[in-house]
Chains A and B, each alone.
Chain A
Amino acid sequence: MLYAPPGRHLVRAKDLVDGRYAEPLTVGDLAAAAGLSRAHFSREFRRAFGESPHAYLLTRRLERAAALLRNTDRSVADVCLSVGLTSLGSFTSSFTRAFGISPTVYRRSFPPASAHAMVPGCVARAYGRPQNSTFREDTGAAAA
């Protein structure tokens, strides 16, 4: 077998978190991705990246949640579920610990998502044109 530095295995666990944070991942899944036993994996991961696998997974989820709070108008509960967290209570407290403000206050500190969503001008013009059924009646009356 070819020699691969241990970091190569550990980064697979990190890649799994970055790509699949929305799924119900456990530290056991991450250890399996790295091909190490759970206890050994957590120790090696911490040595390589300076934080525990659990902390990496949680902070990735919180980072993605912050992006959803800025870029979507989904509810806080929906954002929580969208990043793979299931308890709204723990989400709110972890988020507040990480960012210093609650998810709701964090969202309010940015312009609403609709203000910077890149909805093109052509879309706004096409969808914003009013539909008014009385215009048709007016035309009919004029033609009569």
Chain B
Amino acid sequence: MIKFAAAQLWVHDQDEALAFYTEKVGMEVKADVTLPELGDFRWLTVAPPGEDDVAIVLMAIPGPPVFEEETAEQVRALMAKGANSAIFLTTDDCRASYEELKARGVEFTDEPTERPYGIDCGFRDPSGNALRLTETRET
């Protein structure tokens, strides 16, 4: 049986991303380990409190030996333009979550809007990654 464990998100700066996802979005750190044998590679994961089976891996854009400088720069440029990835989250109250995150200084791209499937809004992380926050309609 295949289950979902984690998905990686490129971030411009791991500490900046960590502060954003924990302090502004309200997630918690699930793993934070630095491995000297992998050139101080830092495995850093976050997820909402109580969510123990799935996590987002906040991944720094690597230089050599993983990416040569040109590739790393292309990823950075795409990310800054918002062309990197998106994360989809759900909430039980979209408008309340929107107000809460907005009060903490989160940059919203879409205000809460009625959709066929519920209400959702959208925001960006400091790296430019898009996040979607949806309150699904009860069916």
Contact = CB atoms under 8 A, between A and B. Distances in A.
B30 interface: yes
A73 interface: yes
A119 interface: yes
Given A71-B32, A127-B41, A118 B6 contact: yes
B26 interface: yes
A74 B32 contact: yes
A126 B41 CA distance: 10
A92 interface: no
Interface in A122-144: 123-124, 126-131
A66 B6 CA distance: 22
Nearest to B49: A19
Contact of B65 (A21, A72, A124, A130): A130
Contacts, number: 64
Interface residues of A, number: 25
Interface string B18-36: 0000100010111111110
Nearest to B35: A114
B116 interface: no
B49 A68 contact: no
Nearest to A19: B49
The number of chain B residues touching the other chain, given as a range, is 20 to 34
Given A126-B65, A131-B64, A20 B26 contact: yes
Nearest to B6: A118
B62 interface: yes
B117 interface: no
Given A119-B38, A127-B65, 20 more contacts: A18-B50, A71-B29, A71-B30, A72-B29, A72-B31, A72-B33, A114-B33, A117-B33, A117-B43, A119-B33, A119-B43, A123-B43, A126-B62, A126-B65, A127-B39, A127-B41, A127-B62, A128-B37, A128-B38, A128-B39
Interface of A: 18-22, 64, 68, 71-74, 82, 113-114, 117-119, 123-124, 126-131
